[in-house]
């Protein structure tokens, strides 16, 4: 492995009504870098790059790409070689064909997810100490993707052995088959999680907050604006990852997790934490259950070549209700 994947970078989402989306994401405290009649580019308070979330106005909601930032342009070339040697087609999007970003490499990963890699993005003003402009959840940075896939073990093996991700925590069933896995490149609990379910789908995008109170602030602001129904689950604390959480649904049903309180995973002697599938505290440490929508619903993803929705497959492991954990 000759390439260096740094972290979760950005998400590209299709939405059907930009103004309704703007009301929701503005309420959470995202910073609108720029927009036009077809697009909104958002960044978080810590971001020094142009955006971490790109909303595109389209007739139907979907996920165009989930992206990882790499260290250099050379890493993009190495990734291209890697994927081609495996017989995978790649799609280059050259600099200038997308707003504010350098060339990007897109590929359908082995689970069918539309994955993108990039090294360069235009700079933007950091808002970290512009405290008078912070509002809502005061979203600090993008943290992770959570993906529903039909074969978690296959995804786990590929991302750890071929792409250099490390495992922080995982859930296993009675036969010790991996049901869910939390994998990282940056030294936190995860940049991506894979869950056993019908897929490929994007379950949620996780954004880091500076403190647990910011989750409460988000609830108060959304409720005061008449958007209380967008609150799907929480606030609460996960056993797995130890994080405080709040799950929200944007106007098109894309799920956003507001997230705070996980831990450092950089030590070379760190060992992955195993959770039993039947342990109720892994899902919600405090014991309250998630709604059915949280288990059953997720955003469909697009084929990087055709732009059509990817066909869904049933999970290889027997389906049980706790098919997502975080």
For 149-158, write each residue's pLDDT tens digit. 999 999 999 9
Residues 153, 178: contact at Cβ < 8 Å? yes
Residue, of 278 and 23, whose pLDDT is higher: 23
Same domain, 183 and 146: yes
pLDDT band at 320 (very low <50, low <70, confident <90, very high): low
Crossing angle of helices 213-224/18-27, nearest 10°?
140
Residue, of 283 and 37, whose pLDDT is higher: 37
**Span 79-92, average pLDDT:** 96
Domain boundaries, position 19? 5-118
Q: Kindly state the tokens that stand for 278.
A: 């039947």
Same domain, 183 and 272: yes
Same domain, 66 and 200: no
Domains in the chain, number: 2
Q: Can you give the pLDDT at residue 319?
A: 59
* 251 occurs within a structural domain: yes
DSSP 221-277: HHHHTT-GGGEEEEEEE-STT--EEEEEE-TT--EEEEEE-------TT--PEEEET
Same domain, 87 and 204: no
Q: Is residue 77's pLDDT more than 70?
A: yes
Same domain, 151 and 220: yes
Which of 30-34, 243-247, 251-255, 298-302 has the least mean pLDDT?
243-247
Same domain, 262 and 167: yes
Same domain, 238 and 277: yes
Residue, of 289 and 31, whose pLDDT is higher: 31
Q: Kindly state the tokens that stand for 134.
A: 């912070």
Q: Is residue 202's pLDDT more than 80?
A: yes
How does strand 62-70 pair with strand 114-118?
Answer: parallel
Same domain, 114 and 65: yes
* 316 occurs within a structural domain: no
* 325 occurs within a structural domain: no
Same domain, 156 and 296: yes
pLDDT band at 209 (very low <50, low <70, confident <90, very high): very high
Distance, CA of 149 to CA of 51 (rounded, Å): 27
Three-class SS of residue 33?
Answer: strand
> What CATH number should be reported for the domain holding residue 204?
3.10.180.10
pLDDT band at 326 (very low <50, low <70, confident <90, very high): very low
CA atoms within 13 A on the CB side of 245: 30
**Span 233-251, average pLDDT:** 91
* 309 occurs within a structural domain: no
Sign of CA dihedral 77, 71, 159, 195: negative
Q: Can you give the pLDDT at residue 2?
A: 82
* 158 occurs within a structural domain: yes
Same domain, 144 and 257: yes
Q: Can you give the pLDDT at residue 277?
A: 86
Same domain, 207 and 89: no
Which of 126-130, 131-135, 285-289 has the least mean pLDDT?
285-289
* 45 occurs within a structural domain: yes
Same domain, 58 and 188: no
* 277 occurs within a structural domain: yes
pTM for the full predicted model: 0.95
Q: Can you give the pLDDT at residue 267?
A: 95
Q: Is residue 321's pLDDT more than 60?
A: no
* 60 occurs within a structural domain: yes
Residue, of 205 and 175, whose pLDDT is higher: 205
């Amino acid at each position: 492995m000759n390439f260096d994947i740094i972290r979760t970078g950005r998400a590209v989402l299709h939405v059907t009504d930009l103004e309704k989306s703007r009301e929701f994401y503005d309420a959470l405290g995202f910073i609108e870098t720029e927009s036009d009649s077809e697009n909104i580019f958002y960044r978080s308070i810590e971001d020094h790059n142009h955006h971490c979330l790109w909303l595109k106005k389209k007739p139907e909601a979907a996920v165009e790409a989930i992206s990882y930032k790499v260290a250099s342009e050379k890493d993009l070339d190495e990734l291209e070689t890697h994927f081609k040697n495996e017989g995978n087609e790649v799609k280059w999007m050259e600099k200038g064909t997308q707003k504010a970003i350098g060339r990007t490499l897109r590929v359908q990963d082995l689970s069918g997810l539309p994955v993108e890699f990039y090294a360069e993005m235009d700079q933007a003003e950091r808002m970290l100490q512009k405290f008078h402009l912070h509002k809502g959840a005061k979203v600090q940075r993008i943290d992770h993707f959570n993906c529903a896939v039909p074969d978690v073990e296959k995804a786990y093996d590929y991302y750890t052995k071929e792409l250099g991700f490390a495992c922080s925590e995982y859930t296993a069933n009675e036969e010790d088959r991996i049901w869910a896995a939390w994998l990282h490149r940056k030294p936190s609990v995860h940049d991506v999680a894979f869950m056993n379910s019908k897929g490929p789908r994007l379950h949620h995008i996780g954004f880091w907050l500076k403190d647990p109170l910011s989750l409460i602030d988000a609830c108060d602001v959304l409720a005061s604006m008449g958007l209380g129904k967008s609150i799907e689950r929480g606030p609460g604390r996960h056993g797995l990852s130890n994080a405080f959480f709040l799950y929200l649904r944007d106007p098109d049903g894309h799920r956003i997790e507001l997230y705070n309180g996980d831990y450092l995973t950089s030590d070379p002697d760190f060992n992955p934490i195993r959770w039993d599938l039947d342990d109720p505290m892994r899902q919600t440490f405090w014991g309250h259950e998630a709604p059915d929508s949280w288990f059953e619903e997720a955003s469909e993803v697009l084929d990087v070549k055709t732009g059509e929705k990817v066909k869904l497959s049933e999970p290889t492991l027997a389906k049980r209700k706790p098919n997502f954990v975080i």
